[in-house]
Structure formats: structure tokens, C-alpha cells
Amino acid sequence: MSFKVKTRIVPFLAVAALVGLSPAQAQDAAYPEKPIKLVVPWAPGGATDVIARIIGKRLGEELGQTVVVENKGGAGGNIGTASFVREKPDGYTLLMTTSSTNAINPHLYAQTGYDAEKDFAHVALVGSIPNVLEVPAKSRFETASQLLDYAKANPGKLNYGSAGVGSSQHLAAAQLIQSAGIDITHIPYKGSGPAVADLLGANLDLMLDTGSLAQVRAGALRALAVASKTRLSVLPEVPTFDEIGLKDMYAAAWYGVAAHAATPAPVVERLNQEILKILKEPAIVEQLEKMGVQIGEPFTPAQLDAFVLSEIKRFKSLVEMSGAKLE
């Protein structure tokens, strides 16, 4: 006598229910089951975009899914960020956050299209790039002290560029103006690229920038001081502002990864652990440090949420000090 054995395929969620998992928990445990989109609210080629591609590639390898970087620039990062918060909160669309979009813009724009305090579950802090005081390679100024002494003796004679009103470059320069007691003229541009181009062409006297270290290392620009507590490993010969006598002159742009605020906590925790692990890899650290990135603290999601809230408050006073106006 022969017997036929009937095989019934039990759906994954049904199995999960049998072992005590809710359908939602089972879905979270299976994450990710499809490619992930990483939104960069800036044009390709900038620091945020490069960092996103470095982190996204390794994150995809660790998760076993492709991480696709999608650039949505415009309105100082507001367009891409506002678009992100309208996405489904399932962890399959992530955002590259920056101090500009997530801490500064709320104080610059009457309408950003998102709530910086409520719309995000911050996943991981990748790191920060200190602003560097830079001048054209053929500038008369060999040191920061020479530049500051000239600026004090000749108020309004020097100009500086930025990526726009309220940008990290603008706010860093506002800090320098206050700290050093100087008067220099602000020339805002529509992005850091055009500003750096004019600095390279000596149409600007100086900038405090985060994204032009490649031009400094190539000799096209001269770095005079770094707005951080320690010297940059890629510019070991360049002093900090502390070293030249300007205390507490710290200015940096930070970069992170966020999910939608309603994303399931297990997904946020998983992403946090994976990214923090990636940020310990020597090859990743080397790539980021070549850009001037100082690796961020290994915050938990809750700690990072608290950090961003504190940054929103801190930048409010800096924006007011700079004279930047709401648009």
C-alpha cells in the first residue's frame, strides 16, 4: 500500500503567529525584503551626496539589498526633505540629514514642508566636517593671523562667499566675525559650488567651507585655520582657531541618516546597529576622513533624537546672530 503525503505551504506570517510573533513583528524581523531608497536633498557631487553613496553601498551589502541613492535638490534641501516625509514609513525610504536641513532651515524658512522636531526617527550620526578658513592659492595671506589683522585694520574691505543666506558657511563666518571683531562682506551664492569656483578664481577673498578640501590638498586653495577642537588628519599642518587665540570658534556641518518618525522601532534599531558597525570599518573611516569627516558619536536612536533637538535650539541663536532672514 502506498501513501500520498499532502504538503501545505504555510505563509511566513502564519508561522510567525504560531511561534508567538505578531504580523507586524514578523514583518519587521524580515526587513529588508526589497531595495531601499536613500534620499539626498541636494544635487549630486556635494559632500552629502558622496557620504550617502559611501554609507549606502556598504549598508546595502550588509542588509543584502540594494540601497539606491536618489538626489532631490532645491530650496536649501527643503524640497527633498519635504518629499521624504510624505513617503511610506516602513524603513524602505531613508533620508540623509544635515545640520542645514534638520537644524538650520526651520529658523530660516517660514515654510519648509516638514516639522524638524516631529517628522523624523533619527537613525545614526555619520559625522561632521569642520569649516575651514580658506583663501585662494595666490592670496596675500599666508596665515589666519595676517588675514584677521588686515580685516581689523580695513573694515569692509574683504569679502567672503557662502552657499546662501543661513548656510553653514554663512553661519560659520558670522561666528568668526563676532569672535574676531572684524567686518567682512557677505556674498551669498546659490550653492557652495559657484562660491568655491569664485574663490578659486580669486573673485572672493575667503570662505569658511566644509566641502572643498580636495582643492586645498591639490594646492588650488590655501587653508589657514580649522574650526574644530582638534586638527584635521587630512590637514595636519593647519592650526585650529583655538591655537591662534580664537577660543570656542567651532563650526561644523553634520550628516546623518533618518527614517520617517512612524517607522517601526525594530527597523530603526536594526539600521542604527548596521550603520554604527559600518562606521568602525577602517576602509570606510579612511574614505570619510579623506573628505575631512570626523566620525560621529555612536548615538542610539533616542540619543540622536535628543542631539538633533539640542542642535535645533542652538542654531536658532546662531541664525539670529547672523542676521539671516526667513524666506
Q: DSSP string covering 261-292, please? A: TTS-HHHHHHHHHHHHHHTT-HHHHHHHHHTT
> How far, in Å, CA of 96 to CA of 41, rounded?
7
Residue 250 backbone phi and psi in degrees, to 5 = -115, 125
Which residues face 187 on adjacent strands?
Answer: 161
- State CA 230 to chain mean position distance: 19
Provide the residue type at 290 as one letter.
K
Which residues face 208 on adjacent strands?
Answer: 133
> Quick one: cell of 210?
566644509
Rounded mean pLDDT for each run of 10 residues along the chain, 327 residues in total: 41 46 56 97 87 97 98 91 97 97 94 97 97 97 98 98 88 95 93 90 96 92 96 94 94 96 98 98 95 94 98 92 74
Domain 31-128+253-322 and domain 132-244 have a common topology: yes
Whether 93 contacts 87, CB under 8 Å: yes
> What confidence score (pLDDT) does residue 25 get?
52
CATH number for domain 31-128+253-322, candidates 3.40.1160.10, 3.30.2080.10, 3.40.190.150, 3.40.50.1100: 3.40.190.150
- Indicate the domain borders of the chain: 31-128+253-322, 132-244
CATH number for domain 132-244, candidates 3.40.50.2300, 3.40.190.10, 3.40.50.300, 3.50.50.60: 3.40.190.10
Residue 53 backbone phi and psi in degrees, to 5 = -70, -35
> What confidence score (pLDDT) does residue 27 get?
52
Whether 70 contacts 234, CB under 8 Å: no
Residue 187's SS3 state is: strand
Provide the residue type at 48 as one letter.
T
Rounded to two decimals, the pTM is 0.82
112: CB partners within 8 A, 6+ apart: 78, 81, 82, 105, 106
